[in-house]
């Protein structure tokens, strides 16, 4: 890379001459647009309030940027000022996790904006707006990073619907600090159950009743706690539901078809049935 060009871009940025940065980088052939140059260009577009163009440039470098605090911050910044705080949230969260000290303030703003949007709507209606209007396929992959999981959900929406407009990760899905999910799976032994899982009453003796069976088709209940001790966002709910099932055999019923909008109380906890199809 031409170090003189990088020095010039930095100088223009320090002088708030963002148009010059854009013009200089856009003159370059696409083959010369390195990750560093895309970051300079995306930042310049953000500073010129051209957030759509910033997102187009920055997201084209998503593989390199996934573990970069500044890249995540710039994507979050573009989404936030493009009036999409729900999409901005996971990028600010990832940026903060990677050490950015400015991102936490934006995280609070995103959550505040999301809750303002939802505060006048009954909890039972909230889940229908996102959870029951999206597509997802459960798999053996277990996710530990919310931003990465969110990106996968966004990609899946675009692959199925050609848009991710119905996916609102920061939307409050369920206003409970704790709930249960119930789902169907095939397991081989009690050790296949996580610590927060148990079999339903109808299946709790399945291993004693059918000791010669290699696999058992069972209904499983998993207790989940909200990270913030108050409510589940759509992102948190779907990610936790996904991870509970990642070590199980689901047969060909891997496609998420929705869950209860008004959860039934079971043993003192609201319980959502995870419906899956083939």
Summarised one tens digit per residue, pLDDT across range 193-232 is 999 999 999 988 988 988 888 889 999 999 999 999 989 9
Task: Clarify whether residues 177 and 252 are in a common domain.
Answer: yes
Short-list 3, 68, 17, 7, CA closest to 39: 68
Task: Clarify whether residues 103 and 144 are in a common domain.
Answer: no
Full-model pTM: 0.56
Torsion angles phi and psi, residue 220, rounded to 5? -115, 140
Task: Say what the pLDDT of residue 89 is.
Answer: 77
Task: Clarify whether residues 171 and 271 are in a common domain.
Answer: yes
Domain end, chosen from 98, 118, 138, is at 118
The Cα–Cα gap between 4 and 171 comes to 45
Task: Clarify whether residues 73 and 95 are in a common domain.
Answer: yes
Task: Clarify whether residues 137 and 83 are in a common domain.
Answer: no
pLDDT along the chain (278 residues), means of 10: 81 92 90 91 94 92 87 93 81 86 88 60 49 88 92 87 89 91 93 94 89 90 94 94 92 85 88 88
Largest CA distance in the chain: 76
Short-list 89, 56, 17, 39, CA closest to 235: 89
Tokens of 226: 């909200």
Task: Say what the pLDDT of residue 27 is.
Answer: 92
Task: Clarify whether residues 165 and 240 are in a common domain.
Answer: yes
Give me the residue label for tokens 């990760």. Answer: 169
- CA distances for 73 relative to 33, 53, 55, 69, 91, angstroms: 20, 16, 12, 6, 6
Domain end, chosen from 80, 102, 118, is at 118
Task: Clarify whether residues 47 and 114 are in a common domain.
Answer: yes
Task: Say what the pLDDT of residue 211 is.
Answer: 87
Task: Clarify whether residues 84 and 191 are in a common domain.
Answer: no
Task: Clarify whether residues 43 and 126 are in a common domain.
Answer: no
Angle between helices 35-47 and 51-59 (to 10 degrees): 170
DSSP 60: T
Task: Clarify whether residues 76 and 114 are in a common domain.
Answer: yes
Task: Clarify whether residues 50 and 159 are in a common domain.
Answer: no
Indicate the number of domains in the chain: 2
- The residue range of the domain holding 194 is 121-278
Task: Say what the pLDDT of residue 116 is.
Answer: 62
Task: Say what the pLDDT of residue 126 is.
Answer: 43
For the segment 138-175, what is each residue's pLDDT rounded down to a tens digit? 888 899 999 999 999 998 888 888 889 889 998 889 98
Helices (H), 66-212: 69-81, 85-97, 103-118, 123-130, 146-161, 206-209
- CA distances for 94 relative to 27, 89, 155, 185, 238, angstroms: 32, 9, 18, 32, 18
Task: Say what the pLDDT of residue 125 is.
Answer: 41
Domain end, chosen from 71, 97, 118, is at 118
Q: What is the CATH number of the domain that holds 109?
A: 1.25.40.10
């Amino acid at each position: 890379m031409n170090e003189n060009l990088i020095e010039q871009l930095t100088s223009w940025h320090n002088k708030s001459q963002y148009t010059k940065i854009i013009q200089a980088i856009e003159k370059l052939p696409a083959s010369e647009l390195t990750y560093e140059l895309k970051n300079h260009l995306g930042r310049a577009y953000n500073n010129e309030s051209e957030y759509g163009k910033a997102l187009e440039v920055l997201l084209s470098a998503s593989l390199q940027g996934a573990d970069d605090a500044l890249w995540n911050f710039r994507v979050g910044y573009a989404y936030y000022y493009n009036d999409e705080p729900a999409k901005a949230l996971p990028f600010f969260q990832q940026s903060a996790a990677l050490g950015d000290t400015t991102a936490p303030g934006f995280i609070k703003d995103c959550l505040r904006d999301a809750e303002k949007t939802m505060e006048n709507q009954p909890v039972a209606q909230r889940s229908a707006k996102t959870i029951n209007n999206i597509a997802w396929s459960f798999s053996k992959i277990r996710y530990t990073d919310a931003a990465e999981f969110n990106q996968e959900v966004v990609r899946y929406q675009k692959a199925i619907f050609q848009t991710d407009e119905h996916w609102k990760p920061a939307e409050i899905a369920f206003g409970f600090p704790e709930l249960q999910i119930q789902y169907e799976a095939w397991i081989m032994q009690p050790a296949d159950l996580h610590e927060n899982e148990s079999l339903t009453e109808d299946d709790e003796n399945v291993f004693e009743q059918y000791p010669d069976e290699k696999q058992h088709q069972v209904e499983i209940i998993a207790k989940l706690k909200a990270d913030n001790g108050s409510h589940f966002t759509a992102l948190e709910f779907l990610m936790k539901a996904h991870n509970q099932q990642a070590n199980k055999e689901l047969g060909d019923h891997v496609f998420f078809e929705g869950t209860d909008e008004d959860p039934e109380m079971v043993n003192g906890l609201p319980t959502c049935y995870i419906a899956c199809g083939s």
